[in-house]
Amino acid sequence: MENAQVWIDKAIDFTVEYGPKVLGAILIFIIGSWVIKKIMGFMRKGMAKSKYDESLQRFLLNLISWALKVVLILVVISQLGVNVTTFAAVIAAAGLAVGLALQGSLSNFAGGVLIMIFKPYRIGDLIEAQDVLGVVKEIEIFTTKLTTPENKLAIIPNGAMANGNIINYTAEGKIRVDTVIGVGYDEDIKKTKEVLMEVLTSNPQVLKDPAPSVNVMELADSSVNFAVRPFCKPEDYWDVYFATYEGCKLALDKAGIEIPYPHEVQINK
């Protein structure tokens, strides 16, 4: 009974000494979380009204959210009576160790910052980078996500994106579609050019400025090859690409212009 009374007294003393601090820390955490949520909501609305770039919005909001949460945790720890200075030193030491272990991740973070600042591409742009062609779906702190023409999701580290070559097909607002059409050597070049040009000019997705072009590109082994080059909007690229090949084949057939195919000659001795 005496031992039980001792433990009860200690429990009461502990509750009296630390109870208010624990309750205060819990209240601070609840109120702080609510305040952070409100702040992020106001910032999200403010950025939307200011027409910030969507990728930059996400990046800044994530960064600010994490920073506010770290501050809140430090305040809660301070309320519990822990020396924040000592705790910060421990965090700094741990951060150094983690940083050395995660150099690649820090490189990706730095790459993400550079992408946000210099904006080589934006969400919705058609780009080619790291041997991947796709539309930018999302730019995160550490990675960039692309949707490929096959509807696959490609996730590329931002460190590689920032340090590698990037081809942005959307930035200029217009893109050239390069196709090659071959006809027989006996066909009339002028008539062939007129037929192929009619295919391009009759397609409403082909831009008038810059004007499409049809030119003799190569005198190949069994055909005269024409460079058929329409311009279009980046989002219409594949539609124009496929329509050009199909339209040229149908138009040449209708005009009676031969499209040659490889011939194999067998010589018997």
pLDDT digits (tens, 9 = 90+) for 103-137: 556 778 788 888 877 889 988 899 999 999 999 99
Instruction: Give the three-state DSSP class for 50.
Output: coil
Question: How far apart are the C-alpha atoms of 179 and 97, rounded to whole Å?
Answer: 54
- The pLDDT confidence band at residue 102, using thresholds 50, 70 and 90, is very low
- The pLDDT confidence band at residue 39, using thresholds 50, 70 and 90, is confident
Q: What is the pLDDT of residue 264?
A: 64
Question: How far apart are the C-alpha atoms of 40 and 226, rounded to whole Å?
Answer: 57
- For 265, phi then psi, to 5°, come to -105, 130
The one-letter amino acid at 34: W
Q: What is the pLDDT of residue 233?
A: 92
**Quick check: bond before 210 cis, omega within 30?**
yes
- Percent of all residues in the chain with a pLDDT value above 70, rounded to a whole number: 79
Q: Over range 148-157, report the average pLDDT.
A: 93
Q: What is the pLDDT of residue 196?
A: 96
* Total-model pTM: 0.60
Instruction: Give the three-state DSSP class for 133.
Output: strand
73-93 residue pLDDT tens? 878 877 777 666 666 666 666
